[in-house]
Structures are given as structure tokens and as C-alpha cells.
Structure 1
């Protein structure tokens, strides 16, 4: 009986501790490493590349909807993801406008913002089509460069590229290449920003993606704690089921 009681207590406390670890780790999972501990890919320190392109518009189809894409500029961007919104065309304005090709919005920073700014002093969040940020730290606000942040509407139809974009998480360092583009379907159209110096409505880049890579993923102690909490919950649940099934915990 003592052995059974010891096992029961072990499972019970493993469950309680795992719940706490999972909850705390989840809450802080998107905290960034300190600026002096952040390892930034050299590409992320660079400005985006943009060149005028002479390419005719083209049509494509997805989910039975025909779209016309008009490329304006070749565009390359490497950045650190600070906020994101994945889309599947089944909700909100994407559903109403039958937009099945805008697979995600990625809000990214680069340059000084990625290397020197204390990003944990900022709140970043995505609306359906926007990226927003706020800080109460005046020193970090002065250091932060508005023209080294962009919200990017990613347009993709290639399944391999769409799957890679779907894997992106906050803290990932990404590389993308494509065309700054306008596109339309029978219900409406979407334009694109062509400068990093604009703000407000229409300031987002709309990019038809030809190449996409995750250069590096953020690994922090909070994410490790979160993962350990999940594994602890799974372990304790399995032992509990075994204990009840075998009569050990009656």
C-alpha cells in the first residue's frame, strides 16, 4: 500500500507541477532574449532589397476563385518575426472577399530593431490586416526605427511554400523573395506599399512569394519550460490511466 501511495503522490505532484510549468512557459513563450544575447543572422541586419520589375500581370486560381496578380517590384526581405496572423480564407474579411491566397501576415523587424532594441519592452500584435506596437519605455521608443518594421501580406499558391509559411512562429528569423504586387478577384482588390517610410492605412507590403526560408528559430528557457510542462502532463495522464485501469489508484 505504501508503494501505491508513493506512486499516486508522484503522479499527482507531477501533474500539478506540469500544469504550472506549462501555464508559465506558455505565458512567456514569446519573450525575446536580451539584445546582447540575441543571435541575429547577418541577413537580418540588412535593409530589404527592392528593384523595379517589368513583368506582365498573370492569373491564377485557388479554391475555384480566379485572381489577377500585377507584380511591381522584385523584393527581398530578411527579418525577425515579432507578430503574425495566419489566414485560411475561412473567417472574417478573408472569407467575405474570398481571399484564399493571402496565407499569412508577418510583422517583422530588421537592422537596429532586431539587433539593439529591447523588444520585450514592446507589445506587438496583428489585427486582420495590420501590425501594431506600443511601448511605455521612452528610451527604447527613441531607439526604435519605424522604417525598420513592416507588416507583410504574404501571397502564395505553391503548397510547399504555404507549408513553410504555416510553420512560422514569433521569434523566427525569416528570408523571403518575391514581387511587391497588387492583386484582385471578382470581389475587390488589394494594393501594396512600395516604401518603408509610410505609416497607417496602405503601409503594408503585399508580396507574391517565390522563395521562403526560416533562417533560425528562437529557443528560450521559457519555451523549454513550456515543452517540459506538456510532456509532464502527458506522462502523468498516461500513468494515471494505467493506475486506474490496473486498480493501483483505487
Structure 2
């Protein structure tokens, strides 16, 4: 809308005073073309009601709610998959593989020295050794709560311990009634009653301290999970190193018990023959990532949402 002043009988649109031709009011002094431009803009501009107004087209509120929903779902899947990825499969899962006793024979290897993490180790091979069995528990030597392997013993070649069962301990399915746990250097087997203890043979269980010098074998060991069927080859060996009075021996019998009954094995081959719960393991990995991403995304969306009060 444009306000124009006529030559005769015109009045000021603000104070109503009679006007002669001119650009401003003789009484209040307003400039006529400025007030007429303001009136035009007021007429043509859409009316905005007070409230939140976003300068972008992104639906931030929807994205925030979606991220919160993803977080809740990923937390649920994380707890669920964490439980089921360590559930031991039934005995028929291993029925197509013969899980006989480990094979042990004389070795021609002489003692030798290796360097790892600037420490010189002396390794003394005692027997060739082959084992195929089911992993029921394991311990990573670099675990944050393990104060012995790296800090106290400065042992950087024993990277993992695995507790393995074979023979009738597997085929009978008795292991499903039991629980297994590895501590720093021991495998513990728990049974609920004397009947289970009678049926389970401690001579068909071994806790294996695994010495690794090969990076490919190390990567395979990192993928081992409870319930996996594994096959390994190497030598039973004792070893020591130059820093301090460190020494660890090995058992060469499957019937001994107590301290010193564990097998210390320098690995030359290692394979996961059959993975127990690959689906649950993948789901656990995906749930971890979704949880981490949503925890980062939610506060970022809240902070970056371009929302302000409009007048």
C-alpha cells in the first residue's frame, strides 16, 4: 500500500495536521515516503506468531528422538548378545569332528633365543604337541586387571591362555551342566553336584599358556571366542627371559593336577575350525557401534539444532 498526499486538503497520516505539498509534516516532521514504505512492508509481510523457529529445514526434533530410540535398542541388543555370544553349543554341534586326546612326541628342536619388546627370551622345546578341542574359557594377558604378565613378569610372548576340553567331556554334553572361568594363570571348572563331577574328566581338560612369535597366529588368537572348536600345533616348552628371575615350565602329562599342570605351548599353527556363535558375536559388535554413535549424536544434535525464539 502506498500513501500519497494530494495537493488540496491533504493531511498527515500520523498527526492529522493539514498539509501543503512537501516531503515532511509541518507539525510532527515525519517523512511521508518513509512511513508509506513501512506501511507497504507491513501489509505485504506474513504475520509470524511467537514460538520456536528453525533457520534450517532439518527436522532436529525427529532426529533427536530417533537417536534416543536407537540408543535404547542398541543397549538392549548389547546386553542380549553379550550373554548369548558366550553360550556353549550343544554336543551335536561338534559331532562331525573327532575330538581325541592330544598327540605328543619327541622334538628335535634345540633351545633358542628370541627378542620381544626389547626383552630376550630363552625358549627350550620339550615335546611336539597337537591339540584339537573346544574352548570353554580364556584369558587375555593384556587385560587391564592382569597385574602379572606385563607389569610384574614382563612376559610379552604369552599373549593368551585358553581352557580346552575334548573327548567324552564334549560328546557326553556334560559340560553344559558346568561353568568355566580363567583367572590370570588358572582355569577353574565348577559343577553343581557330585554326579556331574563324576562324569566330567579333568584328564580331558587343559589350560594352555600360548606363546606367540608369529603375527598371523596372533591375529587368529584375537578372534577366539567361547565355544569355538580350535586346532593347534607347536611344541611344549619352558621359557625364561633376561630381565629378572622369570621362568615358566610346562606340563608334559594330561593326568597331573595343581600348580605346574598347565601346558605351555609355543605355537607354530593355529586355526578356528568352527565358530560357535558368529551371529551373536556380529550383533554384539554392531550394537557396540550403534550405542557409541548414538551417544555422540544425541548431544551434538541438541547443541547444533538452530532453534531460537522469534518475536
Normalised to the residue count of structure 1, the TM-score between the two structures is 0.83
| Mapped pair 1:212 → 2:270 | yes
C-alpha contact (below 8 Å) 2:88/2:136 kept by paired residues: no
Q: Render the CA deviation track for 1:140-183: whole Å, top value 9, x for unaligned.
A: 33321111110001112122222222222222211111111111
C-alpha contact (below 8 Å) 2:160/2:210 kept by paired residues: yes
C-alpha contact (below 8 Å) 2:121/2:240 kept by paired residues: yes
Q: Give the number of aligned pairs.
A: 247
Query: 2:236 corresponds to which residue?
Result: 180
Cα offset, 1:211, TM superposition: 1.0
Cα offset, 1:243, TM superposition: 5.5
Q: SS in structure 2 opposite 1:42?
A: coil
Query: 2:160 corresponds to which residue?
Result: 104
Matches within 5 A, 1:41-80: 42-43=97-98, 45-80=99-134
Structure 2 vs 1, CA of residues 234 and 96 (structure 1 numbering), >3 Å: closer, same or farther?
closer
| Mapped pair 1:201 → 2:256 | no
Structure 2 vs 1, CA of residues 152 and 167 (structure 1 numbering), >3 Å: closer, same or farther?
same
Larger radius of gyration: 2
C-alpha contact (below 8 Å) 1:31/1:120 kept by paired residues: no
Structure 2 vs 1, CA of residues 172 and 236 (structure 1 numbering), >3 Å: closer, same or farther?
same
Q: Render the CA deviation track for 1:174-208: whole Å, top value 9, x for unaligned.
A: 11111111111232211110111111100000111
Query: 1:39 corresponds to which residue?
Result: 94
Deviates more, 1:130-139 or 1:62-71: 130-139
C-alpha contact (below 8 Å) 1:32/1:171 kept by paired residues: yes
Q: SS in structure 1 opposite 2:238?
A: strand
| Mapped pair 1:86 → 2:140 | yes
Cα offset, 1:123, TM superposition: 1.8
The CA distance in 1 between the partners of 2:216 and 2:282, in whole Å, is: 28
Cα offset, 1:66, TM superposition: 1.3
Cα offset, 1:71, TM superposition: 0.9
Cα offset, 1:136, TM superposition: 0.6
The CA distance in 1 between the partners of 2:217 and 2:279, in whole Å, is: 30
Cα offset, 1:110, TM superposition: 1.1
The CA distance in 2 between the partners of 1:249 and 1:104, in whole Å, is: 53
C-alpha contact (below 8 Å) 1:34/1:118 kept by paired residues: no
Cα offset, 1:69, TM superposition: 1.2
Query: 1:121 corresponds to which residue?
Result: 177
C-alpha contact (below 8 Å) 1:121/1:137 kept by paired residues: no
Structure 2 vs 1, CA of residues 248 and 179 (structure 1 numbering), >3 Å: closer, same or farther?
same
The CA distance in 2 between the partners of 1:139 and 1:224, in whole Å, is: 37
C-alpha contact (below 8 Å) 1:74/1:179 kept by paired residues: yes
- Cα-Cα RMSD: 3.0
The CA distance in 1 between the partners of 2:286 and 2:277, in whole Å, is: 13
Normalised to the residue count of structure 2, the TM-score between the two structures is 0.69
Cα offset, 1:50, TM superposition: 0.3
